[in-house]
A and B are shown apart, each in its own frame.
Chain A
Amino acid sequence: MDIHEGQRAHGHGDEFEVFVFPSGGKPIEVKARASDTLREVLARAGVKPDDEVAAFIAHDEHGQDDDAERDEDEHAGKGLDKRLHELGLGRGCRIVHSACRWVEVTVNYQDQSPHRRFRPSARVGRVLRWVVTKELKLKEEDFDVIKLKLCDGHDVRNDTRLAELLKHQTCALCFELVLKPRIQG
């Protein structure tokens, strides 16, 4: 169910679930009402946002989450006191919280280190698509044989949001492009 379906399906007093992706942590499910403010919902997830803290409303439904040109996930840092219904948020919406408005991403590959900035709500898969098609000009088939790993050696899944990987208040991430293990017969 998408955000707007959720809003239509619920009156202001009905409870529904939303997902908060905190910086450096796994997603948290919290109950919310359309009349709650964004600040109240984030607080319920253990996040104490102030105006310097960014919250992004992720609009990446299935099939739209790896478009390399998308960057319009809404920054709601100044709208923390708006109510969910004013923000168009309903059942199942995802709210990505981060102290960073942008994340500086570097990808190491052989002797190259392309870099660009992404929203904290972007997924690792989107970074992979960008570096493969836009920077390194590899063939799309190469998605099958390569993957991104954090420079500290940790594995990451393509559906992980960059905000989940941020540590220690830094707004930068370093990845390495590595060969994926191949399934052999």
Chain B
Amino acid sequence: MTTTTVMKPDEAALRGDLRSVDFRVGVAEGRWDLADPPGVVWPYAVFWVAAPLRPNSPDRFHLRLDCAGYPAVGPTGRFWDHTSAGPLPLGDYPKGTGDTAKVFRTDWPPQKAETGDTPGSALYHPFDRRPASDHPDWKTKHPELMWTSEHTVVDYLEMVYGLLNTPTYTGIR
């Protein structure tokens, strides 16, 4: 007797977008890629995003996205330590000013045992479903920044890449 595992629609949708030209152009240009291993271990997918040179700072950051419900529901992501396969220590988060500091903030969300929230466990951006769930007003304040089912993981990666690759990103210190 053989068993067949049927891939869920959300995982199939993500894997389809990882084959898209938009994603693969970013890979070809060295802007991001799936970190493989671990790659996709549903509902998680680990990516790296390239960062510009800053003193004593890495040339890329890993990001683990929880993609359950993708793309109807936006991913929620956190920086990831690829070596230890665990959350990146907050001291090693990318720092900066303006939106770079705001989105990569390490003082949010507040620790909450029942939800598993810890500071730095989600990016503070309307694309990320975790802060978006706390801010119903963002739908009217930031309609152009909200995640919709038309968005793809490339939009999320592009958002992170854009925040790292600006003069307002200063490195990890």
Contacts and interface: CB of A to CB of B under 8 A. Distances in A.
Contact of A63 (B28, B52, B142, B168): B52
Interface string B58-72: 000000000000000
A2 B30 CA distance: 8
A26 B97 CA distance: 33
Interface stretch (B78-86, B98-106, B112-120): B98-106
B94 to A, nearest CB: 14
Main secondary structure of the interface of A (DSSP, over half): loop
A145 B21 contact: no
A13 interface: no
B99 A144 contact: yes
A35 interface: no
Contacts of B24: 17, 19, 29
B144 A158 contact: no
A182 B30 contact: no
A19 B141 contact: no
B98 A181 contact: no
B158 interface: yes
Contacts of B53: 63
A62 interface: yes
Contacts of B21: 19, 26-29
Given A144-B166, A159-B158, A183-B102, A27 B25 contact: yes
Nearest to B96: A144
B47 to A, nearest CB: 14
14 contacts: A27-B21, A60-B29, A61-B29, A63-B165, A66-B165, A92-B29, A93-B28, A143-B167, A144-B98, A157-B158, A159-B161, A183-B126, A183-B142, A183-B145
